[in-house]
Amino acid sequence: MSLDAIDAVNWSAIPNPTGFEYDDPERVADALRRLTMSTTANETGDAASLLAGSGFVCGHACMVFPAAYAATPILLDLVEHGQRPRVKDAAVGLVFDALCYSPLAYNNRVDTPYGTDVPLCCAIARHIRGRQAVLLAHGRYARKLLAEAELHWQLTIEETEFEPDGTLTAIAALEGTPFPLSTEAELHVPPFTQPAEPVHIEALTADSSGAACIHLNQAPSRIVPGSTLYAAECGLREH
């Protein structure tokens, strides 16, 4: 399954921010294949080392690359379907690094099926949240990964009500954990052709299902259902 997923990615279309050959996303694809097919501790370690020192992350610099967005679901497939504990553990560790490391300037955003220019850390976190049951069952370190991903929240607007003073009350779906208030956020409005703009979330209430109500001061008039909000600090993360 993972090999098919690797082959389905157009790795040559993914940016290589450094321009160095060893950070080529095609090398990430090769390392993922090696990890998937590894059968010994040495093979697993060698493949994981390739991913930790090339175009996936750079461990010694605590840097993550755009290819990590495409590679993360493949690594999570290995956690879910892999047969060897060492491979599963290596995959969890690599995804944890990808989530926590910082991207290079001007390479901190990715295009996704649910919006363009999404902060890289938030896009990776959404992949992780989608495997909640798998990670909860895998062990303490995997649960720590899931808890870290929950901090990279996303709000999707479902209904809006503008007040005469320009403020906005909105019903939204919250992914991740509720956050401290008041909070700076960035707003993405469909069809996601314009740059994100800053907004200030003054109030948030949310239940355990993720149903939320938010209040924004000075909300832009173009906000509509389907708009998304991410933490402003995530959009500013750069190495």
pLDDT digits (tens, 9 = 90+) for 201-213: 999 999 999 999 9
Predicted pLDDT of residue 165: 86
Task: Please tell me the distance from the alpha carbon of residue 203 to that of residue 183, in angstroms, as a whole number.
Answer: 9
Residue 159's identity, in one-letter code, is E
221 pLDDT above the threshold of 90: no
Task: Please tell me the distance from the alpha carbon of residue 142 to that of residue 93, in angstroms, as a whole number.
Answer: 8
DSSP-based three-state secondary structure for 81: helix
| Averaged confidence pLDDT in the chain | 95
Whether the Cβ atoms of residue 126 and residue 173 lie closer than 8 Å to each other = no
DSSP conformational letter for 169:
E
- pLDDT tens-place string over residues 150-163: 999 999 999 999 98
- End-to-end CA separation in angstroms for the chain: 33
181 pLDDT above the threshold of 90: no
- pLDDT tens-place string over residues 15-72: 999 999 999 999 999 999 999 999 999 999 999 999 999 899 999 899 999 999 999 9
CB atoms under 10 Å from CB of 123, counted, come to: 23
